[in-house]
Every structure is written in C-alpha cells, then in structure tokens.
Amino acid sequence: MNYFLFRLIYMNVDHIVCHSNDMQHKLMTRYRVRPDKITVAGHGLFDEIPMTLMAQGEARRRLGLDPDIKVVLLFGRIRPYKGYELAFQALEYLPAATKPLMYLVAGEAIRSHNQKYLAELKTYVRVNRLGEAVRFDDFRIPEAELDLYFQAADAALLPYTEGDFQSGVLFLAYRFGLPVITSNVGSFPDDVVSGVQGYIFEAGNPRALAASLDRFYQCLHPQADLRQSIRAYTRQEYSWEQAAAVTYELYQKIARP
C-alpha cells in the first residue's frame, strides 16, 4: 500500500529533491522515476546545536563516566532497526587491546514496540552481565546537553540493520567532529569515507562491527587532530549554502515557463 501511495505521489509532482545518490538510485529503480526528475541536494550540518568544545575529560566528569575507558555513543530514539543488540553482541569479539569499552546509549524509546525493544536490550545486558560495558541514559536528551554526550564519546556507532534514509545522528556527530562507525545500509556509505571519518561494516554482522571498532582504536583514534579534520571536511561537504544553491537553481529551472 505504501508503495502505490508513494508511486502515485512521485508520478504527480514536477520534481523530487532527495539527499543522497542512494536515495536517487532507489527512486529510479524502485519507483521508476525518471533521472531528470530528481535532484540530489546534500543534507547540511546541524549548525544551530550549541557546541562549547569542552575537553573530553570535563564532559565525562559531568556525565559521571570513567575518564580512562573507551566510550562509544549510540544516540537517538531507540528503535529495533537501529540494531543495538548487534553492538552488544560485538563485545564478545573485541580484542583485549580494545577493552575496557563502554557503550553509552542515549535517547528515549517512544511507543510501545520501541519500549519493548528497550526492555529486551536491558534484559540482554543483565543476562550476559554486561552492566559495566553498557550504560542506558534512556530519556530525551535536552538540546543544551547534547554537547556533553558528543564531546564525551570517542566515536558514534550506527549499527542499523535496514533503512532507506540518512540519519540525523550522523550529521549531529559531524557537527561535533565525532568519528562515525556505521553499517553499510541506506546512504551511510555515501557519507562516511572509511578510514577518514570512521569505518563502515557489513550490516547485521557483529564480528565485522567488532573489527571496525578495533580498527578505529588502532588507526584513527590516536590522531590528535581527528575531530578538527572531520569538522573542517564536513563543513565544506555538508554546508547549507551548497544545498541552498542547488535548490535555488532547481526552483529557477522549474519556474521557467
């Protein structure tokens, strides 16, 4: 039903703007939209989110985190397709050199099926005695406190198992210069250069996830200027000015008689 609804919408609009080449490809192959009817305008960074550039140690102190362990952030609303259980399973395959590591799960579960998923995650952590490796801040994180979470972490982890979209968490991470370790679903491979802003692993594969975490801590994390280089790169690649220019040019084209 969704397919036919969206097919009808796409047939009856003059033009479609999407955020990535992956979305463009799916519009063409799945919904048979002509390529000349699609424009890709990149997603901009969340520049309006406050950023203090506080030291990581201070951010961890405020959150009550151990300053000496590795911290990986799983941020956003808690939903089954985000694959958090795979992250927990990956702990079994982490080399000793990459431990101790803590997952900081920050975000709320809205609606009953998401709350059920959260309860299942907590049960998994309890049964497998992972309490020291997983912390749940399962509530809505105020915008004023986002800085704390993204500055406290070493990397953001997006172990999604499915999706035809871009994640706002990715652009939040880039706003703070935080490296991203992500599965290869949706548009993530378009927006993460492996070995530069983070690493990409095979979706649904906890061993591959663990290998990417280990590679990050062995290769990227030691770089002192990593956050600064990510901020500089993403400010250029994901600027609202660039997206606005593409959109304005499209509107001018569509408006011509």
Quick one: pLDDT at residue 122?
A: 98
Place of tokens 């089954």: 80
- pTM for the complete prediction? 0.89
Number of structural domains, the chain? 2
pLDDT mean over 38-54: 88
Q: Which amino acid is at 122?
A: K
End-to-end Cα distance, the chain: 35
> Residue 21 has what pLDDT?
87
| CA dist., res. 119 & res. 224, Å (int) | 38
Quote the domain boundaries for residue 71: 56-235
Residue 166 scores a pLDDT above 80: no
Return the pLDDT at 197.
94
- What was the pLDDT predicted at 104? 98
Q: Is 125 exposed, middle or buried (0-12, 13-18, 19+ CB in 10 A)?
A: buried
C-beta separation of 185 from 204 below 8 A: no
pLDDT at 176 over 90: yes
Q: Could you identify the residue written with the tokens 């990535």?
A: 20
**Crossing angle of the two packed helices 226-237 and 168-175, in degrees rounded to 10:** 120
Statement to judge: residues 6 and 77 lie in one domain: no
CA 198/CA 132 separation, integer angstroms? 25
Residues 33, 132, single domain; the answer is no
Does residue 122 form part of some domain? yes
245 and 131 in a common domain: no
Cα–Cα dist 156/142, whole Å: 18
Cβ atoms within 10 A of the Cβ of 251, count? 12
- What mean pLDDT do residues 47-52 have? 87
Pair (106, 155) in one structural domain: yes
In a domain, 49, yes or no: no
What pLDDT does residue 159 have? 97
Rounded-to-integer distance, Cα 19 and Cα 248, Å: 15
pLDDT at residue 164, as a whole number: 67
Query: Looking at the predicted structure, is the pLDDT value of residue 55 above 80?
Result: yes
- Reply yes or no on whether the pLDDT at 167 is more than 90: no
CA distance 78 to 104: 12
Do both 80 and 40 map to the same domain? no
> Same domain for 35 and 60?
no
What tens digit of pLDDT does each residue of 122-164 get?
Answer: 999 999 999 999 999 999 999 999 999 999 999 999 999 987 6
Same domain? For 98 and 215 the reply is yes
Question: Can you tell me the mean pLDDT for 188-209?
Answer: 94
- Report the candidate in 118, 133, 55, 50 with the shortest Cα–Cα distance to residue 84: 118
pLDDT of residue 211: 97
- Asked whether residue 12 falls in the same domain as residue 114, the answer is no
Number of H helices, E strands in the chain: 11, 8
% of the chain residues with pLDDT over 90: 77
Q: Which of 53-62, 68-77, 149-158, 247-256 has the lowest mean pLDDT?
A: 247-256
**pLDDT value of position 207:** 98
Do 229 and 105 lie in a common domain? yes
Q: Is the pLDDT of residue 7 over 70?
A: yes
In a domain, 51, yes or no: no
Q: Is 127 exposed, middle or buried (0-12, 13-18, 19+ CB in 10 A)?
A: exposed
pLDDT attached to residue 10 = 94
